[in-house]
Amino acid sequence: MGQAGLVGFMNVSIVMLIIGFTVLLLMVKFELGPMSRLSAGRRWLMTLVLGSGMVAFSIKLALIATFVHFPEQTIRQQIAMRKSPALVTWDSGKFAAAEQPVVQVQKPYEWRALPGVAPAPAWNPTTPEKVALGERLFHDTALSIDRTVSCSSCHDVRNGAGEDHRPSSTGVGGQVGNRNAPTVWNAAFQAVLFWDGRAASLEDQAIGPPLNPVEMGMPSAEAIEQRVRADVSYREPFARAFGADRPITIRQIAAAIAAYERTLITPDAPYDRFVRGDDKALTTAQLRGMELFQSVGCIQCHSGPNFSGASLFDPPPSTQRLFPVFDSPEYMKRYKLNKDPGANAPGSKQAVWRIPSLRNVALTAPYFHNGSVDSLPEAVRIMATVQRGRQVGSGTNGVRAVVWSKQDRTIARNDTAVLSDRDVDDIVAFLKSLSSDTLAARNGNGG
């Protein structure tokens, strides 16, 4: 309703109020008052009581009139009262007091470092004996039908970043899968595993590849048990890990592999050092990228210390997301982003995928479920376009004020509608800060 409509409504309402009060006053004076034998003062009191609804309505009309006729004088004061106090900003690599008020959300996003220990289920506590056994099983090609493929064949943790740098991995008999092998580093923090999220734990996930006919090709869980039991050198390690005189079962095999994988965590990234208090751990470009990662909305999915809403840290509203959300014929055709529906129904135009972690993402190319993108900047452009609906161009951003509060560990900046090439570079720089120092040194760079 426009201002003119409100004024007309108020005029009619005032006339009706006058008529209503007049009728009510006459009723009390000439009918209710004499019948109740009330004095003049009590007759006025009865009028106000019976007309309380009209009194309240009159007050509301007065407030509406105030805001309609004097909007600037009444509203501007409220805005001034809600201005944020000056915070600490980062400008050209230096901290300074903010001159302009910063809009704060009710609960600012809190940036957190990765813990040094991964949680384990009560029934499968992590022990040194289990970890040692699990490491051996993880690297044992005997768990594949032709003894040529191990877990580490696709998830290289000794020399690589926990994957194989191939669009799709090669399994037994030279067969090639249809999905990219995700890194196993920090998988211990994920609430669901596999690209489509079909495994609820590391223990569940550990049994998948050995039984997959394309990956390791074992015909059954019993066949895996028999293969491990046949190797007498496994008897003592299993006895130390799970107790003597207990038969080797698929449950124990999975438990040992999972225990080993829970030690594959990387809390030694520059980002972690920064959040823990090292102001010099991030460059100016990385700090700008960190804020963009928040303001563009990347944290809506890639949240928490593991940069995945499908992690164990906070109960997620959903561990999976539609992908892509926004249509981009160019990207769909070039990278075949919606060919595989993931956890969605076959033939769906939009796929459903578990939210992957972005830890060490600069070291784990190629990207996406099908490994179709080799470049991290290109992956950022795709995600900004098809997931966040943002335009990506080479325009300028104007003046920006990036605010970092060490005490609250929050960051803020005024949003921009278009992402420039510099914005993309800054986000990429920030993503590189998620790389483990150890893994980055092993790979010769940070991405």
pLDDT in tens, 72-105: 443 343 333 333 333 344 443 444 444 444 444 4
Higher pLDDT, 425 or 64: 425
Better-scored residue on pLDDT, 95 or 401: 401
Give CA 421 to chain center in angstroms: 24
Topology at the third CATH level for domain 128-261: Cytochrome Bc1 Complex; Chain D, domain 2 (1.10.760)
Q: Buried (b) or exposed (e) across 76-98, using 16+ Cβ within 10 A?
A: eeeeeeeeeeebebbeeeeeeeb
Whether 330 has a pLDDT exceeding 50, the answer reads: yes
At 5-63, the pLDDT tens digits run: 555 655 666 767 677 667 666 666 666 666 666 676 666 666 666 666 666 666 666 66
Q: Tell me which of 203, 215, 261, 291 is the catalytic residue.
A: 215
52 Cβ contact list (under 8 Å, min separation 6): none
More reliable by pLDDT, 183 or 60? 183
Question: Which string of DSSP letters, residue by residue, matches 364-387?
Answer: S-SBTTTT-B--HHHHHHHHHHHT
pTM of the predicted model as reported, rounded to 2 decimal places:
0.73
| Mean pLDDT to the nearest integer, 351-362 | 97
Intrachain domains 88-112+267-443 and 128-261 with the same fold: yes
User: Are the CB atoms for 131 and 263 separated by under 8 Å?
Assistant: yes
Strands 402-405 and 410-412 come out as antiparallel
In CATH, what number does 88-112+267-443 get?
Answer: 1.10.760.10
Residue 229, pLDDT score: 97
pLDDT at 349 over 90: no
% pLDDT > 90, the chain: 65
- Is 378 labeled as catalytic in the residue annotation? no
pLDDT band for position 409 (cuts 50, 70, 90) = confident
pLDDT at 210 over 50: yes
Query: 347-351: long-range contacts at Cβ-Cβ below 8 A with a sequence spacing of 24 or more?
Result: 350/322, 350/323, 350/324, 350/325, 351/322, 351/323, 351/324
DSSP H or E segment with residue 227:
helix 221-229
Rounded distance between C-alpha atoms, residue 293 and residue 109, angstroms: 11
Model confidence band, residue 65 (pLDDT cutoffs 50, 70, 90): low
Q: Which residues contact 377 (CB under 8 A, 6 or more apart)?
A: 424, 425, 428
Sheet of 94-97, strands arranged across? 94-97, 88-91, 402-405, 410-412
Mean pLDDT for 113-123 is 97
Please give the Cα distance from 359 to 251 (Å, whole number).
Answer: 29
Does residue 236 contact residue 158 with C-beta atoms inside 8 Å?
Answer: no
Q: What is the pLDDT of residue 90?
A: 45
Confidence grade of residue 447 (pLDDT, cut at 50, 70, 90): very low
Name the residue ranges covered by the structural domains of the chain: 3-81, 88-112+267-443, 128-261
pLDDT band at 262 (very low <50, low <70, confident <90, very high): very high
How much is the average pLDDT of 261-269? 98
User: What is the predicted pLDDT for the residue at 19?
Assistant: 75
